[in-house]
Amino acid sequence: QKEVEQDPGPLSVPEGAIVSLNCTYSNSAFQYFMWYRQYSRKGPELLMYTYSSGNKEDGRFTAQVDKSSKYISLFIRDSQPSDSATYLCAMKNAGGTSYGKLTFGQGTILTVHP
Amino acid sequence: DSGVTQTPKHLITATGQRVTLRCSPRSGDLSVYWYQQSLDQGLQFLIQYYNGEERAKGNILERFSAQQFPDLHSELNLSSLELGDSALYFCASSPQVPVQGAVYEQYFGPGTRLTVT
């Protein structure tokens, strides 16, 4: 079983829809939770990160972490065709020697059609 | 453009061969990370270097090795290549000193697409 599970989709929604992307994880040591966006033929870029449980909002994007359920979500409001990309969740331990190691989900392919 | 450069963009080689992938981090970034992205395994952490020293290791195969040079560029060496090594290889960099419990944005390069035939 993978440490981080993410439904690969693909997910197709109309412009303006609210999109919900989710990941579950099994490693209780994860404390930092990130969402990356990857456009076709590009490297991933960081969208948001949160520490421990709670919500964080940035414009049309909201990240939620529920550590008790080991479940994280990314919501995109008023989705735009430019949001079409692969969204990857990533997680990191708080301590130990794995200073920089990020563990990624499989990625969800999102298409927003006009 | 993240400021991280990777060469070459594409590489096609045969099984059993050895290749070297090169990464130049963003100006001033001291940490370099290597990741492998394949369809079946997703994006997987391979190894991290900070200012020339290895700092963290993931599921990197023994056939793979990396190093970071004094000018901070890094190379990933892949040897005895197998068909299953075909993947996108990303390099990322981050600026700060790696500290336990901290997270710093990792800036990813455009990747090198390796095809082993």
For residue B30, pLDDT over 70 is answered with yes
For A64-96, b where at least 16 C-beta lie within 10 A, e where not — what string?
bbeeeebebbbbbeebeeebbbbbbbbbbbeee
Residue B102 CA, chain-centre distance (Å), reads 21
Q: How many Å lie between the alpha carbon of B16 and the closest alpha carbon of chain A?
A: 27
What integer is the mean pLDDT of A83-92? 95
Distance from CA of A49 to the nearest CA of B (A): 9
**Rounded mean pLDDT of chain B?**
91
Distance of alpha carbon A78 from alpha carbon A45, whole angstroms:
20
Other C-beta atoms lying within 10 Å of the C-beta of residue A14? 9
- How large a percentage of chain A has pLDDT more than 90? 73
Confidence (pLDDT) at B95: 77
The predicted pLDDT at position B98 comes to 55
**How many A×B Cβ pairs under 8 Å?**
69
For the segment A50-67, what is each residue's pLDDT rounded down to a tens digit? 887 889 999 999 999 999
The region of weakest confidence among A61-75, A89-103, B42-56 is: A89-103
Residue with tokens 């560029």: B73
Of A44, A49, A99, the CB nearest to B100: A99
- d(CA B78, CA B8) in angstroms, rounded, equals 14
Across the interface, whether the CB atoms of B109 and A43 are under 8 A apart is answered yes
* Nearest CA distance, B63 vs chain A (angstrom): 20
